[in-house]
């Protein structure tokens, strides 16, 4: 990378909120998260030279687009700066982070504000699922999968995985149980007050009905309203303001790939195109998966986290289930038994999409904010010990757009 990219500050909203009930809109959470990030960075808003907004489908969820125009409402000093909106389904937020990073790497700007936001609680779950269907190959896959396309698409991925590797529904439930347990340690997580036992997660019941076999309600991420934001800066800017590079979180490497849109044209459950994103990130960072102490991965459904372990090289093909069963990806704070794990890499310490929530356009930015909090020891009860290298993996569609980023500090 020609110019180094650092995170100077960040912020997010409480993902348990319902904006419609508050009489608020996506405008309000873009402003709220942006203000928090600028305050956390401890810089004057006039220092910010450009802005990026990650959002998936505000046009259909809220009838509002042109979201970059809310950036000047964060502070009048931002009026006039260039802004862009990025969209790649659930990877929209990561693309905004990447856009801001590439602006800095290319020498165009030294300080960029990135916001990811989504307001989804504006309609019925049936209508909302149809809006989410735009992240798939809507006109070809809707006739095949019908209503609630995404649970069915990922139910299909789970079926393919189970047929190939012999996993069980109880294996998937371990991911759901873990991420709900992690969410209880996160004061801003949507499911922080929910109790999910492993028995409940692993069995179909009135409380946990089947959605798209083998997936149950607990295997699914949440419908969420929320926003997250980070301030990205160049190394040159850090020196100018007298901040210590060694104590500031830096982007070490990234990879970004795009596969075919329909699921049946992809090589599930291997997802070789997504793997290229991870391989590129590790190559740029000159690191291996074993060099990581923590990760945020895209668990839109429980099967996705297991597949992500294998995509990222944390587990061999077909061995993702063994990794979650070993307890290696569970925080020691909630691990039920003091087992001898093969190596420790807590995954989705804040609860992931299943426990923390999934405001689609915000998720990629929220993952990066979590990386920043972990690497600066600001994660509270969910803090990973001695974390120096951290990975975020955000994907959109049925593993269509994949963005892997490796973060670290000295």
Indicate whether 338 pLDDT > 70.
Answer: no
Task: Tell me if residue 256 is catalytic.
Answer: no
Q: Where are the domains of the chain?
A: 5-123+224-247
Backbone angles phi, psi at 374, to 5 degrees: -65, -45
Mean pLDDT for 312-331 is: 96
| pLDDT value of residue 151 | 97
- The answer to whether the CB of 403 falls within 8 A of the CB of 395 is yes
Query: Contacts by 63-71 with C-beta closer than 8 Å and gap 24+?
Result: 64/25, 64/26, 64/27, 67/26, 67/30, 67/117, 70/26, 70/27, 70/30, 70/31, 71/30, 71/34, 71/113, 71/115
d(CA 220, CA 173): 11
What are the tokens at 331?
Answer: 């925080």
| pLDDT value of residue 187 | 98
d(CA 267, CA 75): 46
| pLDDT value of residue 2 | 83
Only one residue has tokens 């209503």, namely: 147
Q: In sequence order, what are the residues at sequence separation of 6 or more whose Cβ sits closer than 8 angstroms to the Cβ of residue 120?
A: 61, 128, 223, 224, 225, 359, 360
Q: Which residue is catalytic, options 85, 90, 256, 300?
A: 90
Q: In sequence order, what are the residues at sequence separation of 6 or more whose Cβ sits closer than 8 angstroms to the Cβ of residue 359?
A: 15, 116, 117, 118, 119, 120, 224, 225, 226, 227, 366
pTM metric for this prediction: 0.98
- Residue range 223-279, pLDDT digits in tens: 999 999 999 999 999 999 999 999 999 999 999 999 999 999 999 999 999 999 999
Q: Residues for the chain: how many in total? A: 410
Q: Is the dihedral of CA 29, 33, 38, 39 positive or negative?
A: positive
- Residue range 139-188, pLDDT digits in tens: 999 999 999 999 999 999 999 999 999 999 999 999 999 999 999 999 99
Indicate whether 1 pLDDT > 80.
Answer: no
Q: Which residue is catalytic, options 28, 256, 298, 358?
A: 358
| pLDDT value of residue 274 | 98
| pLDDT value of residue 342 | 74
Indicate whether 70 pLDDT > 70.
Answer: yes
pLDDT interval class at 343 (50, 70, 90) = confident
Asked if CATH classification 3.40.47.10 holds for the domain at 5-123+224-247, the reply, yes or no, is yes
Mean pLDDT rounded to a whole number for the chain: 97
Q: Is the dihedral of CA 220, 223, 224, 229 positive or negative?
A: positive
Mean pLDDT for 285-297 is: 98
| pLDDT value of residue 377 | 98
d(CA 241, CA 24): 36
What are the tokens at 119?
Answer: 């307001």
| pLDDT value of residue 339 | 64
Mean pLDDT for 327-342 is: 84
Indicate whether 341 pLDDT > 80.
Answer: no
What are the tokens at 134?
Answer: 């735009």
| pLDDT value of residue 34 | 98
- Residue range 13-26, pLDDT digits in tens: 999 999 999 999 99
| pLDDT value of residue 15 | 98
Task: Tell me if residue 300 is catalytic.
Answer: no
Indicate whether 336 pLDDT > 90.
Answer: no
pLDDT interval class at 219 (50, 70, 90) = very high
- Where in 171-220 does DSSP place strands (E)? 210-212, 215-216
- Where in 343-396 does DSSP place strands (E)? 389-396
Identify which of 391, 158, 404 has the alpha carbon closest to the alpha carbon of residue 275: 404
d(CA 347, CA 329): 5
């Amino acid at each position: 990378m020609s110019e180094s990219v650092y995170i100077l500050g960040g912020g997010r909203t409480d993902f348990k909120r319902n904006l419609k009930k508050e009489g608020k809109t996506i405008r309000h959470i873009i402003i709220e998260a942006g203000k928090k990030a600028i305050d956390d960075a401890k810089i004057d808003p006039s220092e910010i030279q450009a802005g990026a907004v990650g959002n998936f489908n505000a046009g259909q969820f809220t009838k509002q687009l042109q979201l970059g125009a809310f950036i000047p409402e964060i502070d009048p000093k931002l009026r006039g700066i260039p802004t862009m909106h990025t969209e790649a389904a659930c990877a929209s937020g990561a693309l905004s982070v990447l856009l801001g990073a590439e602006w800095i790497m290319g020498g165009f700007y030294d300080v960029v504000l990135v916001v990811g936001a989504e307001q989804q609680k504006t309609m019925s779950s049936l209508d909302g699922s149809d809006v989410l269907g735009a992240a798939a190959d809507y006109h070809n896959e809707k006739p095949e999968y019908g209503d609630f396309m995404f649970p069915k698409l990922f139910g299909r991925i789970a079926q393919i995985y189970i047929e190939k590797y012999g996993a069980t529904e109880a294996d998937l439930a371990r991911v759901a149980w873990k991420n709900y347990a992690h969410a209880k340690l996160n004061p801003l997580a949507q499911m922080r007050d929910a109790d999910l036992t492993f028995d409940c997660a692993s069995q179909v019941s009135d409380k946990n009905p089947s959605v798209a076999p083998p997936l149950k309600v607990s295997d699914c991420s949440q419908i969420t309203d929320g926003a997250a934001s980070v301030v990205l800066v160049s190394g040159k800017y850090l020196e100018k303001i007298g901040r210590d590079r060694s104590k500031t979180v830096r982007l070490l490497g990234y990879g970004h790939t795009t596969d075919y849109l329909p699921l049946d044209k992809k090589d599930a459950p291997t997802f070789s195109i997504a793997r290229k994103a991870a391989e590129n990130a590790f190559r740029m960072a000159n690191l291996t998966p074993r060099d990581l102490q923590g990760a945020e991965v895209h668990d839109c459904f429980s099967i996705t986290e297991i597949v992500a372990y294998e995509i990222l090289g944390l587990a061999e093909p077909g061995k993702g289930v063994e990794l979650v069963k070993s307890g290696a990806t569970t925080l020691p704070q909630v691990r039920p038994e003091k087992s001898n794990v093969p190596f420790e890499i807590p995954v989705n310490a804040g609860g992931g999409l299943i426990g923390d929530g999934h405001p689609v356009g915000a998720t990629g930015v929220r993952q990066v904010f979590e990386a920043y909090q972990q690497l600066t020891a600001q994660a509270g009860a969910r803090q990973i010990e001695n974390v120096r290298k951290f990975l975020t993996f955000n994907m959109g569609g049925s593993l269509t757009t994949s963005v892997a980023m490796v973060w670290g500090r000295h």
